[in-house]
Amino acid sequence: MTERSAKDQISVLVVCGPTGSGKTSLALSLADKYPLEMISADSRQVYRQMDIGTAKATSLEQVLAPHHMINLIDPDQSFSVAEFVDQAHQKISEIAARGKIPCVVGGTGLYIRALLGGLAELPGCHPELRKSLHQREQEEGPGTLYCDLQIVDPESATEIHQNNIVRIVRALEVYRTSGRKMSELKAEHHFSCQPYRVLKFAPDFPREELYRRIDLRAEQMIADGLIAEVEGLVEKYSFSLKSLETLGYREVVLYLKGEITQEMMLEDIRKYTRQYAKRQLTWFRKETDTIWVDSSTESDKVVQSIDNFLH
């Protein structure tokens, strides 16, 4: 996407932050005051049939404000950050053309950073190498490739969870095909393209309160039918469905296989979600243009900032 001149740039609001922090609630409260349309920046909400475990906006919430970039593909299909960026750019242009305000809402930091600052130029995919890397992980056991990544690109390893095999394989693929670390290539890019005027908020909670909210939400997901959602996906596809390897879903899969109890499943969802939220906080705290706000007490601050931004 070509960069616009400052006077022609579209104004975009962003509500980002860790899982369980109330991003959707904050964004919807702003939709009462401004003509917003939401763009989900969540790498899992693009999947159809995966609603509960991804905390997708409810039908009522989608009535309160239009939501885009959700339910784009089936669970057995792939979706890259580049595809997200291309489609989200198009949605932002369409929303602005309707006289509405695009509001990007989500916790996938890479999606947001790439959308607002552009993508680093990385080598293309190498199917045979990917296949051999996945095969090695299967033959030598979980964690094999992550150990490799820690050796060749420790900076990328700190930003990628050891269970995220897709991103681990991609980082190793970049290193082996280019001879350079993915972290170095991204650092050189600096995400310097700025196609929009941006005002970015993140709900701010004390760590203990955030973890309490995460624990309660894990319980609510189970109560809302997460187990049945996973059972339906397994029946339609299989236990080996890659989208089921993500947080929340993988723990239910282990329960359905009889490898852990329901109590262990719930506790693991809570534990790994807290760990994920901690990594998200680290990511978003590095984004120096983010305004951290207490959603319950600083609504006036948010509104004033938006009014100043739009006028």
What integer pLDDT is reported at residue 193 of this predicted model? Answer: 64
Closest residue by Cα to residue 149 from 139, 138, 137:
137
Given CATH 1.10.20.140, say whether it is the number of domain 127-188: yes
pTM of the full predicted structure?
A: 0.79
The per-residue pLDDT for 190 is 53
DSSP letter (8 states) at residue 21 = S
DSSP H stretches of helix in 179-246: 182-189, 207-224, 226-236
Question: pLDDT value at position 62?
Answer: 92
Q: What is the pLDDT of residue 6?
A: 53
Residue 192: per-residue pLDDT? 55
| Residue 101: CA count within 13 A, CB half-sphere | 24
**pLDDT higher than threshold 80 for residue 194:** no
Q: Is the pLDDT of residue 166 over 90?
A: no
Average pLDDT score, the chain = 91
Q: How confident is the model at residue 118 (pLDDT cuts 50, 70, 90)?
A: confident
User: 6-120+191-310 has which CATH code?
Assistant: 3.40.50.300
Please determine, for residue 8, whether its predicted confidence score (pLDDT) is greater than 90: no
Positions of E strands within 227-302: 290-293
- Percent with pLDDT over 70 in the chain: 95
Q: Which pLDDT score, from 0 to 100, does residue 96 have?
A: 97
Question: What's residue 1's pLDDT?
Answer: 52
Dihedral sign (CA 143, 145, 146, 147): positive
* 294 has a pLDDT exceeding 80: yes
Domain segments of the chain as ranges: 6-120+191-310, 127-188
216: how many CB neighbours lie within 10 A of its CB? Answer: 12
Cite the beta strand spans of the chain per DSSP E: 10-16, 36-40, 67-68, 101-106, 196-203, 290-293
Token pair for 129: 């190498």
Q: In this predicted model, which residue has the larger pLDDT, 149 or 184?
A: 149
Task: Answer yes or no: is pLDDT of 120 > 70.
Answer: no
Q: What number is the average pLDDT over the span 124-138?
A: 90
Q: H or E segment at 151? A: helix 144-152
In the sheet where 101-106 sits, what is the strand order?
A: 67-68, 36-40, 101-106, 10-16, 196-203, 290-293
The whole-angstrom separation of Cα 23 and Cα 44 is: 16
